Every structure is written in structure tokens, then in C-alpha cells.
Amino acid sequence: MNLNLPSQFGKIPRHALSYSWPSPIHLLPKLTETAHSQGQDGSRVALWVKREDQAGPLACYGNKYRKFEYIIPDILAQKQKHGRAPTMLVTEGGTQSNHTVQVASIARVLDLKCIVLLHKGIGGLRKAGDKEAFIKVGNVQLNRLLGADVRLTDERDTGDEKGPLIPLLDELRAQGEVPYWISSGASLHPLGGLGYARCAFEIEFQEQQMVREAQFVTGTNRFDYIFVACGSGSTLAGLIAGFKLLEKLKPDADQPPRKIIGVLVSRKSRSSQEDRILRLSRMAGQLVGLDAETDITPDDIHLDDRFVGHAYGILDSDTAATVELAASTDALVLDPVYTAKVMRGMMCWARDRTASGATSRNALGKGLTNALFIHTGGQSALNAYADVWPSST
């Protein structure tokens, strides 16, 4: 797979973890029809999914692995930079964090120790009927299976700094360890957005292949809208930077820019998240060859905060219904923290557009609309939510 990355981007060191072929993209035919159940005649949106949960061979594959493809070279370079190679990875997350499982898996690949700090106040623990089970099953169990030293804490993640990890890191150094800290979601790492900047080029590569194979059945022979979860932010930010770079390299006056929509999964203020995504997008953009201040603007940031539910990691009835809908139609398994909220957001968007007839023609009169859902994984957390499932089915 030759993505033809520009020189500055292509020279950034990358440690491949994914398969040598793109993660699959396929149509969601039944969910597409469901979205049209309220639509007017002639209004069509085709819903597609990119299976980041099937992108590679390691445990519980998901979006964080793309980030680590660019972070691993930095881990391996620490000995040359500082004289000592890291002996362990240290990270944090909510109780059922997908990110921590992927860090633990990376530690196995690199033959490093791993400490995972899980914050009991973040996620679904406080609403779980069986709290003892919640802190043992799902991703917690997988972290331990992968050999991580799992430590649960009542201290809350600061979301931006090392916070409660600082005393732990100092303690580890005093013991002779060389810890390499990875922030929650790897989003604060300077290289955290590069994986999904590269993914933008992969999506464009797949669009071209789909055109050659006549796979698009509607519209502009590309994905006009792309929906992805927005938690710690660098997955969305990387996509924004990557597609802005593509627009600069391959300007097309006949096509409006793709719209990348981040569906918020926590109750952080929308304005603060917009500022964060803009900052992370510009950080990734500068690394890959964009002018951070002029090429990426606030107008490129599109967030939807209507589908958060009660809070991050707390399963609500609407999210649960979306999990069941996707499974019972296109046999697509979602997770209750991220992907189900994104799917609900995309379905509501599609219904709104088809109900109004807005998709019968795009702004350039070229036909109908293709929307792509980025499936970031996370299904391994499902069984932790078994006793709080609100559905009566």
C-alpha cells in the first residue's frame, strides 16, 4: 500500500503495527435503510464503516495503535537521547479504558514492564450494580492478562497533566526504573495525532480503489462526511490535519472540503474541547508540513455534544438501544463508551438530512451523500456493562 505521503510526513519514523493493507471499509446496508425510514423520496445517505477494530493483529485492536506507530520510535530513541532505555510504560485511564489495554499490548511487543493506573471515578463504575465485577472483568481483566500491573485509584485524572502519576513516576525512578509516561489516549504526546493524519491518506487511497471497483452506489465517489468519537481528541485532530494536508496537495475546486465531525463522549464543555482539538490539529499539522496557523482554523472543527448521555462511560438507554440496533441489523458490534455514541450521532444526522430532503443534491449538484463511521474498537468493555444494561429485550 503506497499512500504517497509528502516528503516531510514520510520521513517521520514509524513502527508498523497494523496489517500491510488498509483496515476494511464496508457499507452498512440495513442501518442505511433504517436511517431512511423517515426520509423523503429521493433523499439518500449511504452509511459506511471503517473497521479500525480489524486493522491489525494485536490484542483488542483499535485506534490507539495507529498513534503508537509513531510513538514507538520515540520510545526506542530514549536511550540515544538520554542514555538510558525505558524499562516500563506507565499510563492511565478510566476503569474500562481501551487505551490502557493497547498500551499493555505494546509493552508486550517491546518487552517492557507496564503499569496501568485506572481511575475509579471515571467511567461506569459508580453506576454499576456489581462494582466488584466491574473492576475485574472486561478491559481490567485483559490488562492483567497482558501482564500489566493494574492499580486502581480514587484520584481523578486531571485530563491534561500527569497529576497523581507524578509521585508514582518519582517512586519508580528511585527504584531504578526508567518509566515512559503515556497520557490517557496518547493525545498529549507530541506525536499523538500523526497516526490519524496518515489514516486520512489511507481513506483517500481506499476511495480511489472503490471508484475503480465501482463500489460507490451514490454520490460524489468519496466520503463527504466522516464521523469519529472525540474523547481525548487526537484521533479527530489527526484526521483534520491529514485531510487538510490532502486538500492542500490535491486542490479540487469542484468538491467542498470533507467535513470531519467529532461526537463528544464526555461532558467537558464544547468550547474547551473545540480549543483543544484546534490545538492538537495544529500540532499534528505542523509536523506533517502544514502552516499550523493559516491552514487549520476554528472553522475546521466540528463537534456534536448531543449524544454524551449521562457522562463519560455511563451507559444510558439511548446508547444501549444503538448498540442493540447495530447488532440486530448489520451484525456490527459497538462499545457503550465511544462507538455507540458516534453511531447514534451519525444516524440522527442522516435522518435529519433525509427527512428534510437535504441529501437529494449536494451543493455542487453532483448527487447524493456518503458518510463514513470510524469504528475505533472497544467491544472488549461490553461484558463489564452486563448488569446495568437498561434494555428490556
Beta strands across the sheet bearing 149-153: 149-153, 113-119, 88-94, 179-182
Active-site residue set: 97
List the grid coordinates of 284.
499534528
> Other C-beta atoms within 10 Å of 80: how many?
8
Cell 437529494, located at residue = 360
**What's the chain's Rg over C-alpha atoms?**
21
Strands 45-51 and 25-27 turn out to be antiparallel
Amino acid at 166: I
Cell 433504517, located at residue = 34
Distance CA 306, CA 314 (A): 15
Distance CA 168, CA 345 (A): 39
User: 152 CB contacts (<8 Å, ≥6 apart)?
Assistant: 95, 118, 120, 135
Helix extents (H) in the chain: 7-10, 29-35, 64-76, 78-82, 98-110, 131-134, 139-145, 165-174, 194-212, 234-249, 270-288, 292-295, 317-330, 339-356
